[in-house]
Amino acid sequence: MSLIQLDIHQHVATVILNRPEQGNSIDLASAKEMMDVAIQCSEDSTIRSVVLTGAGKAFCVGGDIKTFAADADEIGASIKQITSYFHQAISHWVNMQKPFVGAINGVAAGGGMSLALGCDLLYASEQAKFVMAYNQIGFTPDGAGSYFLPRLVGVRRALELLYTNRALSAAEALDWGILNGVLPAEALLPHVQELAQRLAQGPTQAFGQTKRLMYQSYHNNVDAQMALEAQTLAAQSQSSEGLEGVNAFLAKRPPLFK
């Protein structure tokens, strides 16, 4: 049985964290498999958008604490091994030139919440909850949680969630700007997959360059960012996507991006 299930249909890859009896917690084997799947999502040119969700009642409860406890004498080395694969997986998904959409079907805790925060677009069921959980056991964040969370909600709110381990409901996460939408449980995955299907028919390269511009804006001043925008726009306008988009606009027909 795959610990990270990958289904590809009509250019949409649906990635399912598949350890439901363990709350889809992350151990060494699942982290390694996650990295392999993330690389495939990034490199397979037939995949044009990616959906991430969990099997069972939880999305992901974070690291497999029982595994850590069983390997207490070597816990530091064990965590470095797991995070090396886990972080590479997140890096490939975040940096791939394709839309990355999360469907959070239940609890997202610790590394599970960090993983969810790395999605480009994020939707959740009404039953979903979000909790950072790290400080509760004397740990600190991983999975780029300390990167994405303060950028989404601000430093004070991020520290509140980390210090108090308060769980956010889906409604609160939507209000705080973590989520794009909240849906009934039975409607969540169909909604996200339908969105991913529409995105898969869009200008994949333009999506990727747009994502790159957004992340680069964290590091540039306004003039450097405008220079990057001009350079990127000029290149995209000469691409097959840009030419098709202009021709379709002039012909008053829907564009056909390939």
Three-state DSSP class for residue 4: strand
The tens-digit pLDDT sequence of the chain (258 residues) is: 799 999 999 999 999 999 999 999 999 999 999 999 999 999 999 999 999 999 999 999 999 988 776 666 788 888 999 999 999 999 999 999 999 999 999 999 999 999 999 999 999 999 999 999 999 999 999 999 999 999 999 999 999 999 999 999 999 999 999 999 999 999 999 999 999 999 999 999 999 999 999 999 999 999 999 999 999 999 999 999 999 999 999 999 999 998
Could you tell me which CATH number the domain at 4-200 has?
Answer: 3.90.226.10
Give pLDDT, residue 75: 81
Phi, psi of 40 (to 5 degrees): -60, -45
DSSP conformation class of 9:
E
Give pLDDT, residue 72: 67
One-letter identity of residue 144: A
Residue 168 CA to residue 185 CA, distance in Å, equals 17
Identify any residues that bridge with 126 across adjacent strands, giving them in sequence order: none
- 189: number of CA atoms within 13 Å, CB side? 14
Whole-structure pTM value: 0.94
Q: Token pair for residue 101?
A: 């959409």
**Every domain of the chain and the residues it spans:** 4-200, 204-250
Q: Could you check whether 4-200 and 204-250 share the same CATH topology?
A: no
Residue 127 CA to residue 63 CA, distance in Å, equals 21
Could you tell me which CATH number the domain at 204-250 has?
Answer: 1.10.12
Q: In what order do the strands lie in the sheet with 107-109?
A: 107-109, 129-131, 168-169
